[in-house]
Structure 1
Amino acid sequence: MGLLRYSINVTLDGCCHHEAGLPPDEESMAYWTARIAEADALIYGRLTYEMMESAWRRPASGPWPDWMTARDIPFAESIDRAKKYVVSGTLDAVDWNAELLAGDLAAEIRRITRGSNGILAVGGVTLPLALADLGLIDEYEFLVHPVLAGRGPTLLSGLRERISLEVIDRREFPSGVIAQRYRPILVSE
């Protein structure tokens, strides 16, 4: 059975918006490239899918855009070729190596995890909140940046119930970014 891992960049004050001043350094970009490459598939909601596609899909013309640096291209190649699932009630179709999930969220995610023996990487803000509320996330992975955003959407805002976590891995980058992975602690009643 596949492992469902939610991964995201976050500021010290909990902001998880992609425009919160979190430019990746060399090491964190390499970290995310490796994470994307190791995943069996990526699972996004519509907004995250569309945002990632607009930035990281290989142009039909072939070459990568001029704005990409040498460190961006391996990430772009990994995400471009990755299998993707898109959760949406508004899209009629998806491409970019993607399958649309429009049915019951819990049933669809369970179907995907049963069909995998690897890591299924979930990104974004809204979809992970729904998955956390359903108790479907097996691991949480946060790259905590030494930034105070002061505004923007915050990590898992609106979570219905507290989820206790235990640290399973921690790594500090020279830039001050700290990568932390957690597993939910199952509490017996």
Structure 2
Amino acid sequence: MTQPLRYAINVTLDGCVHHEAGLPPDEQSMAFWTDELRRSDTLLYGRATYELMEGAWRRPESGEWPDWMDASEVAFSEVMDPMRKVVASGTLDSVDWNAELVRGDLIEAVRRLKGEPGRGVSVGGVRLPATLAAHGLIDEYTFVVHPVIAGRGPRLLDGVDLRLELIERREFRSGAVVQRFRPAEQD
């Protein structure tokens, strides 16, 4: 039995997925993302996403969370910080923050990772998930669609041809909509 590989990301109405697009996080969205983290044992990132997440959510050496974080952001950080992280990178020499580096055959490495016991692997970012989706390795897609037109930035799964089946939909007070999909059965 393999553990599921899940991709979840914020996206604007025009398909942009850069981290500055969309609505600012609020208590409801942070609670959602914290619960999403809890569904997995392992986080799988490429270099850029790993560095972005580490810079924002790693517990500082002082042990104290920064003053800019509200309670919902602290809760998110406290779940993410101790989680196992796997980083796919051909440019990094080393990683820390409970992380291990994956080099070489990415597809085979992800297949091995999925074969390990656990609740699931959560993949984040833009390019890495597109590669994994193109190889049919993602078992579930969660898009939090924000009522915003960004007009610029990387696009969601650009260049990937997928048919998805909606398995869950819910709305946030902000107007953002969570849509959860699984790959559709091919005829």
Does TM, scored on the shorter chain, surpass 0.5? yes
Aligned equivalents of 2:107, 2:153: Cα separation in 1: 28
Match of residue 78 from structure 1:
79
- Runs of 4+ displaced beyond 3 Å: none
Listed as ranges, the gaps of 5+ residues in structure 1 are none
Match of residue 43 from structure 2:
42
Match of residue 125 from structure 1:
126
* Contact residue 3 and residue 115 of structure 2 kept, 8 A: yes
Alpha carbon RMSD of aligned pairs, Å? 1.0
Match of residue 97 from structure 1:
98
Aligned equivalents of 1:19, 1:67: Cα separation in 2: 17
Aligned equivalents of 1:117, 1:58: Cα separation in 2: 24
Aligned-pair identity in percent equals: 60
Aligned-residue offset at 1:139: 0.7
* Contact residue 40 and residue 118 of structure 2 kept, 8 A: no
Match of residue 29 from structure 2:
28
Aligned equivalents of 2:182, 2:83: Cα separation in 1: 24
SS of residue matched to 1:84: strand
Q: Which moved more, 1:172-181 or 1:42-51?
A: 172-181
Aligned equivalents of 2:23, 2:53: Cα separation in 1: 16
Match of residue 107 from structure 2:
106
* Contact residue 37 and residue 82 of structure 1 kept, 8 A: no
Aligned equivalents of 1:11, 1:169: Cα separation in 2: 18
SS of residue matched to 2:37: helix
Aligned equivalents of 1:113, 1:13: Cα separation in 2: 31
SS of residue matched to 1:43: strand
Aligned equivalents of 1:141, 1:2: Cα separation in 2: 17
* Contact residue 22 and residue 146 of structure 2 kept, 8 A: no
Aligned-residue offset at 1:35: 0.9
Equivalences for residues 139-158 of structure 1 within 5 A: 139-158=140-159
Aligned equivalents of 1:2, 1:71: Cα separation in 2: 28
Aligned equivalents of 1:28, 1:179: Cα separation in 2: 10
Aligned equivalents of 1:116, 1:12: Cα separation in 2: 36
Aligned-residue offset at 1:151: 1.1
TM-score by length of 1: 0.95
Partner amino acid, structure 1, of 2:186: V
1:23-54 superposed Cα distances (whole Å, 9 cap, x missing partner): 11211110001111221110000000000001
Aligned-residue offset at 1:116: 2.6
